[in-house]
Structure 1
Amino acid sequence: MSLSEIKGVLFDLDGTLADTAPDLVEALNLSLRDVGIAAKPLAAMRSAASHGSFALVDAAIPDADETLRTQVQQGLLIHYQRINGEHCQLFAGIAPLLDWLELHSVPFGVITNKPARFTRPLLNKLKLTARMSVVISGDSTRYAKPHTAPMLLGAQQLQCKPHQILYLGDAERDLLAAQAAGMLGGVALWGYLSATDTPSTWPAYAHYPSPLCLHTALSQALAKISQQN
């Protein structure tokens, strides 16, 4: 498999397509405030933002008992539903990449573990919903990533074979899901990787330091195809 075979591009949402950490950490801090715990700095919580609400809570209060842990997590979700998208923006370089994909008739979309009640409103605020061929949330199928179910549904909706799809993500489960589904996996190194992550060991086709690097690689692959034709 190679980029020259790619007919569609799918993205993880948090930490790959969009910088959602500011809203997620603000929601966390509002929930912590509700129980009398001091706010945590965004920089310290950022790497947990790709791993769900409980991961954020565990990063903030690692010694909490299960009652407090659940209380803060539930509060986080309540606050996040209210502020979702207020401070979120696409990562630098993503907007021109999406424009380029559209210009070259390459369909794109999102496969995320984020619940649909958060995914759709966020994509609406980013004005992306109508542009996407695929929007699959964590509860769109019975299983979430790293299971293949959402990946194969994405391929079906994209009307591409799995090996014709490049899937970008910033967590190991993203690359495991892509590999298991037969897609090319690309590591979004600009995302929410932690100091303990080892992306070089993940089952990836390529590692992209920035959206611009991804854009360049896709452009070069398309140019190569044009020359061959």
Structure 2
Amino acid sequence: MSGVLFDLDGTLVDTAPDLVAALNLSLHEHGFAKVSLAQMRHVASHGSMALVRAGAPGITDAEALMLQQALLRHYHQVNGNHATLFDGVAALLDGLAAKGIPWGIVTNKAARYARPLINKLGLTSARTVSRANKGNYFCQSLISGDSVTRGKPDAAPLLLAASQIGCMPSRIFYLGDARRDMESARAAGMVSVLASWGYLDGDEVTNWPVDLRLERADELLSHLA
């Protein structure tokens, strides 16, 4: 294997705290009750409208659109303030750097949110992750939802990322936490890796096209050996 690609929300980065903070700001602004992070975490990778519907069930379509627009406005302000790399991700990225393996991100998130987020997390410039391992790492490809005309589960965004990191699709691991991630990896001819630490919430995955399932991100290093 010569390359690794990641989904963003729920796989590489825990963005649920930012998303729920933005949701609560929008709910409060329009007179709705706030929700807890625990209630909303499982919805975090399903988009802004799914968050709105879960946070304020039973509202009208007009109210949902109003809350969605408010959520996106507030998210632009809080994006990256509370988000963190999932446990094991820094160790994995450090290990990839030590092995000279390129990596990138393929997300359906719009670039206006994805790029500031990874910039704030320091993933777009080389940096040292741990004192024990002095390897530097940085993202070599970011394909967002508006980078291509067809997003996941289509193969197009993954194939574009493969060309940018200079790896054959069949030699790339793609890590994600949703059915569309696994389907996109399979369509692109990549090895699909299910991130069990993501926003699965007990989703039935037995029929998903999963090649490998990991409990922690750094477990992937043993499969790269």
Q: TM-score, normalised by structure 2?
A: 0.92
Question: Could you list the per-position Cα deviations for residues 106-152 of structure 1 after superposition, in whole angstroms to 9, with x for gaps in the alignment?
Answer: 00010001100001100001100131111111111011111111011
Q: Which runs of 4+ in 1 moved over 3 A?
A: none
Structure 2 counterpart of 1:159: 166
Q: 1:1-229 alignment to 2 at 5 Å?
A: 6-130=1-125, 131-195=138-202, 197-218=203-224, 222=225
C-alpha distance in 1 between matches for 2:23 and 2:74: 8
Which runs of 5 or more residues in structure 1 are unaligned?
A: 1-5, 223-229
Q: In 1, are the aligned partners of 2:106 and 2:157 still within 8 Å (CA)?
A: yes
Q: Do the aligned partners of 2:170 and 2:189 also contact (CA within 8 Å) in 1?
A: yes
SS of 1:110 mapped into structure 2: strand
Write the deviation string for residues 198-227 of structure 1: whole angstroms up to 9, x where unpaired. 123210111101113223333xxx2xxxxx
Aligned-residue CA RMSD (Å)? 0.9
Measured after TM superposition, the shift of residue 64 of structure 1 is 1.2
Q: In structure 1, what residue type is equivalent to 2:220?
A: L
Task: Give aligned pairs, total.
Answer: 213
Tell me the SS of whatever aligns to 1:95: helix
- Amino acid aligned to 2:14: D
Larger deviation, residues 206-215 vs 171-180: 206-215
What is the distance in 2 between the residues matched to 1:199 and 1:102? 31
Percent of pairs identical after alignment? Answer: 51
User: Quick one: distance in 2 between partners of 1:186 and 1:17?
Assistant: 12
Separation in 1, partners of 2:26, 2:9: 20
What's the TM-score once normalised by structure 1's chain length? Answer: 0.91
Distance 1:62 1:215 in 2: 42
1:199 alignment partner, SS class = coil
Write out per-residue CA displacement over residues 54-73 of structure 1, whole angstroms, 9 at most, x where no aligned residue: 11111112311110000101
Partner of 1:226 in structure 2? Answer: none
Secondary structure at the aligned position of 1:151 is classed as helix
Partner secondary structure for residue 175 of structure 2: strand
Give, in whole Å, the separation in 2 of the partners of 1:29 and 1:215.
38
2 CA distance for matches of 1:194 and 1:106?
A: 31
SS of the counterpart of 1:155?
helix
In structure 2, what is the Cα distance between the partners aligned to 1:95 and 1:194? 24
